[in-house]
Amino acid sequence: MKKIIPTLACALMALGLTGCLDRTDSPDVSDYIITSPTGVGQTNSTIYQLKQDYAEYMAAESGGTDFVKVDTSLVIEGVVVANDAGGNLYQTLVIRDLGGGEAGGEKDQCIQIGVKNTWIAPYFPLGQRIKINLQGLYVGNYSQVPKIGTPYYTSAGNRKLGPMLLQSCRTNVELLGKPDPKAPELTPINLTTAEGISWLEKGSNQSHMTTPRLITVKGYIAEVLGSQLRIPLTGSNSGDPEPYREAVIDPATGKQKVDPATGQPVYNYYKLFAPEELYDDGYGVNRTLLAESEGQSGRAVQIALRTGTQNEISFMRIPLVESTYTGVLTKYGSDWQMQLRSKDDVRPVGNGNSK
């Protein structure tokens, strides 16, 4: 009996506590929502119109960094097509608005939005349509890329356009519906064709009205072609380490294969997208992507494939075969530049063709 009484008492207490709870109650999570719970106003502009109206600050054809504060209620919207889920786009979203036109057309526009937080992808997944009121924020460019954010001072005392504070999302950003993984905005512009290569070849296409944009190209990474695979790089990428290697195992014996001609063990060699030895002052590594189209071997457009440090792409092996690369195309100086969003943005073509 002594053992039953405490057990019964506990059961009665639990029943009493349960009776005090209203099953229809739901927790108040309003304090944990980072975007506007009430809305940011009616959409009254587009990314295309924004770039035209603020061309003075976004163009930066000379390479300067300019920006200006928006003092009126200016509301645009778009679908998130790139975020920091893969770690390669730091504190950055890219939204896209097709503008009612065709993909790749004049009104198909993207813009970067900087948000200062360790990881913003959970709040803004791919396919999420958002509305943003620019009042109180700044528009311009950072490294020649059209951007929305707020200024900050570098350690050298220079004022640049950086990410907005996370709390600004509460007053300036509104989520529209749920993420749509099949949103047409998530389909990249296909530049794997002859027409696509011709578009990339035209220097006049490098402008604030054509960047950033979500694209797919096809080709090879120059640093692993031919003899480049087996030797350290020279020139601008001087310092690339000796290639990594792994033993080739004979499935019949379970042992490493031996070259019958030389008697030497056989290895597969590979390089990584962003080894530590190559990190530059911007904490990134550039690899040379040679974009080609079918039937145009030897005619390639060079794109600097930029990968940041310490993310899932940094430690990926560079494919030795022809592959498609999907990512955010921008410009830097007079060069094309591209950043992958995640490991899934690299896919071998067919069974893989090596050079």
User: pLDDT tens for residues 178-200?
Assistant: 999 999 999 999 999 999 999 99
Among 37-41, 57-61, 132-136, 288-292, the range scoring the smallest mean pLDDT is 57-61
Residues 6+ apart with CB under 8 A from 23: none
pTM of the model: 0.87
- Where residue 237 falls among pLDDT bands split at 50, 70, 90? low
Contact in structure between 40 and 173 (CB atoms under 8 Å): yes
Residues 6+ apart with CB under 8 A from 116: 91, 162, 163, 164, 165, 166
> What secondary structure does DSSP assign to 312-352, as a single string?
TTTTSBPPSB-EEEEEEEEEETTEEEEEESSGGGEEE-TT-
Burial 96-122 (b: 16+ CB within 10 A, else e): bbbbeeeebeeebbbbbbbbbbeebbe
63: left (phi over 0), alpha (psi -120 to 50) or beta: left
Enumerate the β-bridge partners of residue 187: none
CA–chain centroid gap for 193, Å, is 23
Contact in structure between 318 and 272 (CB atoms under 8 Å): yes
Give the three-state DSSP class for 169. Answer: helix
Q: What percent of the chain is modeled with pLDDT above 70?
A: 85
Contact in structure between 314 and 308 (CB atoms under 8 Å): yes
Q: Which two tokens stand for residue 108?
A: 């198909």
Enumerate the β-bridge partners of residue 20: none
Mean of per-residue pLDDT scores for the chain: 88
Query: Over 80: is that where the pLDDT of 337 sits?
Result: yes
Residues 6+ apart with CB under 8 A from 205: 199
Burial 137-156 (b: 16+ CB within 10 A, else e): bbbbbbbbbbbbbbeeeeee
Give the pLDDT confidence of 83-138 residue by residue, as tens digits.
Answer: 999 999 999 999 999 988 788 899 999 999 999 999 999 999 999 999 999 999 99
What is the C-alpha to C-alpha distance for residues 328 and 309, in angstroms, rounded to an integer? 17
Give the pLDDT confidence of 95-106 residue by residue, as tens digits.
Answer: 999 988 788 899
Q: Which two tokens stand for residue 104?
A: 């790749």
Of the two residues 140 and 299, the one the predictor is more confident about is 140
> What secondary structure does DSSP assign to 35-64, as a single string?
S-SS--------HHHHHHHTHHHH--TTS-
Residues 6+ apart with CB under 8 A from 50: 74, 76, 111, 134, 139
Average pLDDT over residues 227-245: 73
For tokens 């050298």, what's the residue? 156
Q: Which domains does the chain have, with CATH numbers?
A: 32-186 (2.40.50), 194-348 (no CATH)
Burial class (CB in 10 A: 0-12, 13-18, 19+), 262: exposed
DSSP state of 180: -
